[in-house]
């Protein structure tokens, strides 16, 4: 039987970096962008020999802002993928777009390349809030982009929103959410802002929501979204049948392969337990190695050498695997399946984590229902407190 | 045998930062014992810790050879003295080993409380003191004023005091000549029975205890059978010698007037107490050197390893430190909150901090210490007197007739603009005002009697912050006085935390209790539930704060590339939890136990 594989492709380019962003992204010249896309296509080809017996069922083109590239580049990347891998006809293929960076032409071509899912980084419908975040677009530009996407035939659209934006009130958040809800997208992600070290926000004096307001914003989401949407992960909501299949792979720990700078992979080869890879974070190193030292790319299982192509290449022990299984699995509302745990590790989840699970059930943070152990609503507020015990 | 007329035994007394160590360096340099290349920045202070704090802890001695202008070679034995009030007794023994002292006074700062204390101590020991004015090259230097001040306040001749800059090597020759002419030569009797004063001792893993002594009379050499008159220990001398800078130079014998060391396979520094007299076992001298005192610990606190499994390591480390420091006491104790540890006795708060830092730095231990306390005298209804060093051992109030606490007499030197705020501070600390003397127009010496337990917490810090660093302070234990003392308990989520209990005067109990609750509120992380923090005296709650329940602790985003980093964050969180102490169902970080030591909030 062919194994399934998810593909992640990282486009680290942005018009301008946002104030909260700690992803690997930034503004680069057109020349670098072209070189980078060439390198991406080469990396896709070079790695292909290891994945002959896989079928690709999800592709996610993320960033950065993939949509600032000329659409031809996206076409070339997907063409490379299809020529060296077997990509399922039914594969979910997503692309992240920034409002204001797409036009009708681009969107129609995305459809032609087989892309069937768009994720818009909106964050807020309040233009003042967008300004504080350092976003380059307005709400009105987003509305235009959204309309064009529908017109181009996209039937699976996600909109990213943010809560706890500096100066945001519970009311203004509610309004953003309602506005988005009225557009009837298939999927909505709501991330509570985290001020990360190294971002401009980290050094700014910000008027941030207090803990009570911050939680209220999160707690009112289901009410505003109504019955049509279901929460399936800490920050993700979708209509029935529209969960992001690619992202689910991260949380159930299916195999995925990343291309481009900082892209991560989780692979389960026969002779290893599990392998985690992460590509170099440097655009310059990435392009150079792909062009001049491409043998290094294949040497991800050679642990004796210093390999500058990978910022991470490690074998996960069974202990690591199990602990990750619990932590990422509990991000999903359905939680972890006790049967799947048994099938995966050959032992009972209570045998490994019984004390921890029972303690958190007693605290009202976990529940065990119908074969699944999952976070309660209160548990989702305090998930770190639960997760850390599985480390 | 060395001609006593060519020996000069002296020390340097000064306030911290007035340049004592720098002058010592210059003297050592100028006498040519060491080349400049060998000179460490400050030769006498060989512990890192001392250098960082700018003070000298363990006294040491250096022997230098100086060729004077009269063409003769003189032996200078420079004996270093600790510069802090905690080590007053050690200072006094070092002074007793000298025949004279150089008083270093900063040309800009003038006389400080500590200067006075040390000079008086030197004069008490009949030392000939001559002043040196240092830092004359500072723009703010005013040597004339300082000279007058020395004459007025201390009453010693200062008109011809060398004006120097130890840092820049100005006037050092003058100091060297002054040592020859102004410090008297020793006048011991070489033929009398051995009489040597111990002024320090250190433990060396190869040689055993190395005893630093000054020979008053007689001689000592390899094979001498000696007796320590106070501890009654006897031993056979293995080696005698003199001191280089940080080195030992063995020699055949030491004779009257000399300063040097001997070793004798002594295993414990307790047998060679500072201030004791060494004499011949078979032919002892009639009288020991005067002034010997058994040192008592003034300040106690609980010292616990933050990782319970490190208890044996802590015990070993304390054992080793004690080999070198007879004034450190410890005995095992247990705390419900902190597990197994030791109740340790110290000369003072600085001594406590130094030991704590050495344990952490040299022995790589992570420690939790409890609030330091003093020794209380508890008189029970049964007519007994208990010396209480651990508040947890306080008997039931119904069994206590009355309690006494140690009182010190303190002298605080302060510029006049801060007199008001310093008096206010002393008032808050239950000080009894004894009087004030003006040193000059702008500076005064305040005299107070203060309970020791009021100055061991954060008095130094408070003094410094309320005088913008201008006040200096010195104290001496006076006696014990009856006092209305109570035990203040801290309850976290209704459970008493024994390691946070302490004894306090009943009038300050409320204030301290309130501040402790406030501090703890900031230190204890939010839990799933609300945590009341209460201060109680005799079961009665006198203050309360609440740590609100935790509402949010969740990473919003986690996709493929984030997993490793997010795992690290969770690991960190878990590590933090490990370093906490479990009291009932509340986890208290170790920092909380320490933070309550610094409660003064006026700046």
Supply the ipTM of this predicted assembly.
0.90
In a domain, A162, yes or no: yes
In a domain, A7, yes or no: yes
Which region among A68-77, A165-174, B492-501, B578-587 has the lowest average model confidence (pLDDT)?
B578-587
Give B73: exposed, middle or buried? Use CB within 10 Å, 0-12, 13-18, 19+.
exposed
**Residue B59 pLDDT greater than 50, yes or no:** no
CA pair distance B280, B274, nearest whole angstrom: 18
pLDDT of residue B1: 61
Instruction: Work out the minimum CA distance from B585 to partner chain A, whole angstroms.
Output: 12
Q: Do residues A124 and A215 share a domain?
A: yes
**Residue B206 pLDDT greater than 90, yes or no:** no
CB contact under 8 A, B570 and A215: no
More confident residue, B246 or B602: B246
**Residue B480 pLDDT greater than 90, yes or no:** yes
Q: CB of A315 within 8 Å of any CB in chain B?
A: no
Instruction: Work out the minimum CA distance from B603 to partner chain A, whole angstroms.
Output: 26
b/e map of B562-590 (b: 16 or more CB within 10 Å)? bbeebbeebeeeeeeeeebbebeebbbbb
Q: State the alpha helices, DSSP H only, in B100-241.
A: 113-124, 143-149, 172-182
Q: Give the chain B residue nearest A214 (alpha carbons).
A: B552
Mutate to test the interface with B, among A384, A386, A389, A390 (most CBs of B within 10 A): A384
pLDDT of residue B47: 45
Mutate to test the interface with B, among A63, A216, A379, A382 (most CBs of B within 10 A): A382
Q: Last residue of a domain, which of A219, A250, A281?
A: A250
Angle at CA of residue A16, ends A14 and A22, nearest 5°: 75
Mean pLDDT in residue range B159-167? 92
CA pair distance B69, B59, nearest whole angstrom: 30
Contacts of B577 in chain A (CB under 8 A): 388
Q: What share of chain B is helix, strand, coil (3-state, %, to 5)?
A: 30, 35, 35
Q: Do residues A122 and A242 share a domain?
A: yes
pLDDT of residue B38: 39
pLDDT of residue B117: 73
Q: Do residues A29 and A149 share a domain?
A: yes
CA pair distance A353, A350, nearest whole angstrom: 5
Three-state DSSP class for residue A336: strand
Mutate to test the interface with A, among B530, B549, B552, B565 (most CBs of A within 10 A): B552
pLDDT of residue B41: 42
Give the C-alpha distances (Å, rounded to integers) separating B157 from A46, B96, B115, B163, B528: 91, 22, 16, 14, 71
A 96-115 residues with CB below 8 A of B? none
Q: CB of B578 within 8 Å of any CB in chain A?
A: no
CA pair distance A330, B555, nearest whole angstrom: 12
Q: CB of B573 within 8 Å of any CB in chain A?
A: yes
In a domain, A242, yes or no: yes
Three-state DSSP class for residue A213: helix
For the ranges A270-274, B12-16, B453-457, B519-523, the maximum mean pLDDT occurs at B519-523
Q: What is the pLDDT of residues A313-369, one digit of tens each?
A: 999 999 999 999 999 999 999 999 999 999 999 999 999 999 999 999 999 999 999
Q: Do residues A23 and A165 share a domain?
A: yes
CATH code of the domain covering residue A11: 3.20.20.70
pLDDT band (50, 70, 90) for residue B601: low
Which pTM value belongs to this model?
0.66
**Residue B135 pLDDT greater than 50, yes or no:** yes
CA pair distance B530, B547, nearest whole angstrom: 6
pLDDT of residue B54: 40
Q: Per the structure block, which two tokens stand in for A105?
A: 């032409």
Contacts of B547 in chain A (CB under 8 A): none
Q: Do residues A236 and A344 share a domain?
A: no
| Cα end-to-end span (Å), chain A | 34
CA pair distance B277, B271, nearest whole angstrom: 11
Consecutive H or E run containing B103: strand B100-106
Three-state DSSP class for residue B384: coil
Consecutive H or E run containing A90: strand A86-97
A189 contacts A160 by C-beta, under 8 angstroms: yes
Q: Last residue of a domain, which of A250, A281, A309?
A: A250
Q: Do residues A231 and A349 share a domain?
A: no
CA pair distance A294, A339, nearest whole angstrom: 42
pLDDT of residue A260: 97
Q: What is the pLDDT of residues B345-398, one digit of tens each?
A: 988 877 888 898 889 888 889 888 888 889 999 999 999 999 998 898 899 889
In a domain, A171, yes or no: yes
Which region among A203-217, B83-97, B412-426, B569-583 has the lowest average model confidence (pLDDT)?
B83-97
Closest C-alpha among B561, B497, B316, B43 to residue A6: B561
Is beta strand A54-63 parallel, antiparallel or unpaired with respect to A86-97? parallel
DSSP symbol at B165 = B
B291 contacts B93 by C-beta, under 8 angstroms: yes
Number of domains, chain A? 2
Q: Do residues A231 and A375 share a domain?
A: no
Contacts of A22 in chain B (CB under 8 A): none
Instruction: Work out the minimum CA distance from B577 to partner chain A, whole angstroms.
Output: 10
B188 contacts B289 by C-beta, under 8 angstroms: no
CB contact under 8 A, B577 and A384: no
Q: Per the structure block, which two tokens stand in for A92?
A: 């979910």
pLDDT of residue B438: 86
Instruction: Work out the minimum CA distance from B529 to partner chain A, whole angstroms.
Output: 10
Q: CB of A265 within 8 Å of any CB in chain B?
A: yes
Q: Do residues A245 and A340 share a domain?
A: no
Q: Give the chain B residue nearest A253 (alpha carbons).
A: B560
Contacts of A160 in chain B (CB under 8 A): none
Expressed as residue numbers, the domain containing A67 is 3-250
Average pLDDT of chain B? 86
b/e map of A284-297 (b: 16 or more CB within 10 Å)? ebbbbbbeeeeebb
Q: Per the structure block, which two tokens stand in for B597?
A: 């030591």
In a domain, A272, yes or no: no
In a domain, A84, yes or no: yes
Instruction: Give the number of A-B residue pairs with CB atoms closer than 8 Å.
Output: 91
CB contact under 8 A, A258 and B560: yes
**Residue B210 pLDDT greater than 90, yes or no:** no
Q: Among positive and negative, which fits the CA dihedral B229, B231, B235, B238? A: negative
Q: Do residues A74 and A165 share a domain?
A: yes
In a domain, A135, yes or no: yes
Instruction: Work out the minimum CA distance from B552 to partner chain A, whole angstroms.
Output: 5
> Mean pLDDT for each consecutive 10-residue tract of chain A (391 residues)?
91 93 88 96 96 96 95 98 97 96 96 97 97 95 97 98 96 97 97 92 92 94 96 97 97 97 91 87 95 93 90 91 96 97 95 96 96 97 95 91
Q: CB of A191 within 8 Å of any CB in chain B?
A: yes
Q: CB of A262 within 8 Å of any CB in chain B?
A: yes
Three-state DSSP class for residue A330: coil
Q: CB of A252 within 8 Å of any CB in chain B?
A: no
In a domain, A328, yes or no: no
Q: Last residue of a domain, which of A250, A268, A300?
A: A250
Q: Give the chain B residue nearest A254 (alpha carbons).
A: B560
CA pair distance A77, A43, nearest whole angstrom: 10
Q: Do residues A237 and A345 share a domain?
A: no
CB contact under 8 A, A385 and B550: yes
Q: Do residues A114 and A210 share a domain?
A: yes
CA pair distance A163, A209, nearest whole angstrom: 9
CA pair distance A257, A87, nearest whole angstrom: 13
Q: Do residues A371 and A224 share a domain?
A: no
pLDDT of residue B451: 94
CA pair distance B520, B517, nearest whole angstrom: 5
């Amino acid at each position: 039987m062919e194994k399934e594989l998810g593909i992640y492709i990282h486009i680290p380019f942005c018009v301008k970096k946002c104030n909260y962003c700690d992803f690997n992204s930034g503004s680069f010249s057109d020349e670098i962008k072209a070189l980078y896309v060439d390198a991406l296509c080469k990396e896709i080809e070079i790695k292909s020999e290891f994945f002959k017996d896989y079928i690709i069922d999800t592709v996610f083109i993320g960033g950065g802002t993939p949509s600032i590239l000329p659409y031809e580049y996206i076409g070339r990347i997907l063409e490379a993928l299809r020529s060296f891998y077997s990509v399922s006809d039914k594969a979910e293929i997503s692309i992240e777009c920034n409002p204001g960076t797409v036009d009708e032409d681009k969107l129609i071509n995305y459809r032609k390349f087989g892309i069937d899912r768009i994720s818009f980084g909106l964050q807020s419908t309040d233009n003042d809030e967008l300004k504080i975040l350092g976003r380059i677009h307005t709400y009105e530009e987003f509305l235009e982009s959204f309309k064009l996407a529908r017109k181009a035939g996209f039937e699976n659209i996600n909109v990213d929103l943010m809560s706890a934006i500096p100066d945001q009130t519970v009311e203004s958040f509610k309004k953003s959410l309602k506005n988005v809800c009225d557009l009837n997208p298939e999927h909505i992600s709501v991330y509570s802002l985290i001020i990360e070290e190294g971002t401009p926000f980290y050094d700014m004096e910000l008027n941030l929501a207090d803990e009570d307001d911050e939680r209220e914003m999160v707690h009112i989401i289901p009410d505003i979204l109504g019955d049509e949407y279901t929460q399936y992960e800490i920050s993700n909501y979708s209509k029935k049948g529209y969960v992001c299949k690619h992202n689910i792979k991260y949380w159930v720990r299916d195999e995925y392969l990343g291309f481009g700078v900082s892209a991560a992979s989780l692979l389960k080869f026969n002779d290893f337990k599990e392998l985690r890879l992460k590509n170099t974070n440097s655009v310059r190193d990435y392009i150079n190695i792909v062009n001049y030292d491409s043998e290094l790319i294949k040497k991800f299982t050679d642990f004796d050498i210093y390999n500058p192509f990978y910022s991470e290449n490690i074998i996960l022990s069974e202990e690591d695997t199990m602990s990750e299984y619990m932590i990422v699995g509990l991000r999903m509302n359905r939680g972890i399946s006790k049967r799947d745990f048994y099938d995966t590790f050959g032992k009972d989840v209570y045998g490994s984590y019984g004390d921890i699970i029972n303690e958190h059930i007693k605290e009202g943070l976990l529940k065990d229902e119908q074969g699944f152990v999952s976070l309660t609503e209160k548990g989702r507020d305090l998930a770190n407190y639960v997760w850390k015990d599985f480390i | 045998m060395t001609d006593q007329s060519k020996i000069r035994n002296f020390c340097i007394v000064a306030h911290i930062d007035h340049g004592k160590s720098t002058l010592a360096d210059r003297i050592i340099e100028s006498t040519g014992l060491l080349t400049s290349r060998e000179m460490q920045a400050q030769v006498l202070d060989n512990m890192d810790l001392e250098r960082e704090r700018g003070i000298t802890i363990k006294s040491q001695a250096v022997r230098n050879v100086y060729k004077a202008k009269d063409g003769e070679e003189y032996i200078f034995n420079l004996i270093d003295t600790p510069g802090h009030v905690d080590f007053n007794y050690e200072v006094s023994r070092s002074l007793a080993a000298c025949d004279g002292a150089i008083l270093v006074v900063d040309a800009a700062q003038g006389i400080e409380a500590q200067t006075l204390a040390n000079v008086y101590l030197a004069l008490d020991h009949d030392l000939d003191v001559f002043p040196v004015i240092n830092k004359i090259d500072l723009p703010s230097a005013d040597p004339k004023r300082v000279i007058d001040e020395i004459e007025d306040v201390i009453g010693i001749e200062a008109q011809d005091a060398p004006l120097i800059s130890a840092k820049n090597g100005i006037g050092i020759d003058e100091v060297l000549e002054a040592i020859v002419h102004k410090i008297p030569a020793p006048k011991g009797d070489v033929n009398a029975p051995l009489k040597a004063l111990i002024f320090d001792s250190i433990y060396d893993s190869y040689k055993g205890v190395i005893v630093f002594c000054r020979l008053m009379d007689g001689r000592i050499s390899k094979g001498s059978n000696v007796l320590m008159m106070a501890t009654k220990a006897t031993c056979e001398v293995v080696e005698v010698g003199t001191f280089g800078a940080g080195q030992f130079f063995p020699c055949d014998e030491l004779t009257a007037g000399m300063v040097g060391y001997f070793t004798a396979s002594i295993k414990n520094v307790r047998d060679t107490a500072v201030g004791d007299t060494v004499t011949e076992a078979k032919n002892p001298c009639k009288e020991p050197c005067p002034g010997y005192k058994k040192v008592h610990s003034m300040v106690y606190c609980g010292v616990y390893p933050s990782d319970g499994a490190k208890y044996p390591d802590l015990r070993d480390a304390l054992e080793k430190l004690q080999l070198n420091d007879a004034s450190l006491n410890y005995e095992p104790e247990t705390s419900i909150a902190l597990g197994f540890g030791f109740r340790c006795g110290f000369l003072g708060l600085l001594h406590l901090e130094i030991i704590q830092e050495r344990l952490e730095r040299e022995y790589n231990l992570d420690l939790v210490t409890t609030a330091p306390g003093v020794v209380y005298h508890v008189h029970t209804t049964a007519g007994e007197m208990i010396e209480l060093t651990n508040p947890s051992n306080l008997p039931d109030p119904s069994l206590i007739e009355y309690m006494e606490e140690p009182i010190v007499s303190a002298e605080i030197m302060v510029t006049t603009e801060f007199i008001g705020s310093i008096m206010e501070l002393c008032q808050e600390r239950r000080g009894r005002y004894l009087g004030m003397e003006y040193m000059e127009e702008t500076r005064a010496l305040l005299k107070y009697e203060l309970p020791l337990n009021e100055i061991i917490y954060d008095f130094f810090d408070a003094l410094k912050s309320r005088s913008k660093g201008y006040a200096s302070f010195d104290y001496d234990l006076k006696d014990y006085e009856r006092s209305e003392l109570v035990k203040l308990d801290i309850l976290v989520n209704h459970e008493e935390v024994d390691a946070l209990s302490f004894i306090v005067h009943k009038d300050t109990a409320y204030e301290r209790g309130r501040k402790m609750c406030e501090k703890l509120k900031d230190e204890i992380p939010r839990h799933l539930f609300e945590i009341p923090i209460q201060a109680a005296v005799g079961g009665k709650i006198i203050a309360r704060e609440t740590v609100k329940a935790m509402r949010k602790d969740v990473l919003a985003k986690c996709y493929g590339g984030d997993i490793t980093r997010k795992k690290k964050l969770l690991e960190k969180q878990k590590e933090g939890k490990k370093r906490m102490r479990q009291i009932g169902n509340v986890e208290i970080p170790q920092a909380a136990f320490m933070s309550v030591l610094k409660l003064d909030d006026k700046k």
